[in-house]
Amino acid sequence: METKELLRKIQLLEIRAKGLTKQIFSGDYHSAFKGRGMAFSEVRNYQFGDEVRTIDWNVTARYNEPFIKVFEEERELTIMLIIDLSGSSEFGRSAQSKKDLAIEIAAVLSFSAISNNDKVGAILLTDTVEKFIAPKKGRKHALFLLRELLNFKPTSKRTNLDEGLKFLNNVQKKRSIVFVLSDFIDENSYLKSLKLARNRHDTVAIKLYDRVEMELPNLGWIQLFNAETGETSWIDSSSTEAVNRIYEERLNKDEQLQIECSKSGIDLITCETNEDFIKPLTKLFKDRK
């Protein structure tokens, strides 16, 4: 992408993302996501009703009267975006592909984070971790993240979400808010690593979806192209049995993802390429309040 075109796209994304952040997410963001935990604030004199386990025994011994430790919730958050940019992300029957949708959502989440003085980082993923952008604060960093996304050229077209989730669990030791942006079309097993990520982080799965993936037109024999393997296959789209077999396989995988996310306490929302992603994202923020 030429520099002029890249800068124009970044500028448009920033304007749209900032507008949405101010109008929709500014109030809900604070209440939707809690801090990493409790941080020490100060010591004060023990008062009747205070928990004995909060007594600071060192200070108590020094002054010969009971003092307790006071903790406050850490409000600074770290937002991590795991973004699937494999071959299937290029698919989309409208002007917007799943990759375009992922970038827009990433922009909104990034500017929501920096507007609240939080850090944001990203893992750009195919069947391997192609790029790691360490979490930082500030507008300059958010623009850098968007530039990397827009200019990103993957070395592979395949998908392996497990690799990205394992990488996250290895590099991000502090509890973070993790958004996994993917169509979750993956032949590899990733659910175990997704559950492990949920145990360590507040994890949200954002499924990117194009309706035509489940709506084959009745055109007789048509050729299907696998963007990740480069393989082609033929299907009789006028055959109800053949079409239903494809649908059932995809629906079973979607249902399994939904069940596992529900069991593990992972929020799962679906964003479609031909619909406004603001509705499901806003609902997510409000439901978490």
| pLDDT digits (tens), the chain, 289 positions | 556 676 677 777 777 777 766 655 555 565 666 554 555 557 888 888 888 888 888 888 888 889 888 765 556 789 999 999 998 888 766 678 899 999 989 988 898 888 888 899 999 999 999 999 999 999 899 999 999 998 889 999 889 999 999 999 889 888 889 999 999 988 888 989 999 999 989 999 999 988 777 667 677 777 666 666 667 777 777 777 777 777 777 777 888 888 988 888 899 999 998 888 888 888 887 777 6
Query: Alpha-carbon distance 68 to 64, whole Å?
Result: 13
pLDDT at 60: 87
Domains of the chain (ranges plus CATH)?
3-32+76-287 (3.40.50.410), 38-73 (no CATH)
pLDDT (0 to 100) of residue 36: 47
List Cα–Cα distances, 14 to 62, 143, 262, 275, in angstroms: 54, 8, 33, 20
Residues 289 and 28 sit within 8 Å (Cβ to Cβ): yes
The one-letter code for the residue type at 72 is: E
Tokens linked to 5: 């075109």
The strand pairing partners of 83, in sequence order, are 124, 181
pLDDT at residue number 37: 53
Q: What's the distance, Cα to Cα, between the start and end of the chain in Å? A: 40
> Which helix or strand (DSSP H or E) is residue 167 part of?
helix 161-171
- Laid out side by side, the sheet with 177-182 consists of 129-136, 119-125, 78-84, 177-182, 202-209, 267-272
Of the candidates 112, 130, 110, the residue with the CA atom closest to the CA atom of residue 120: 110
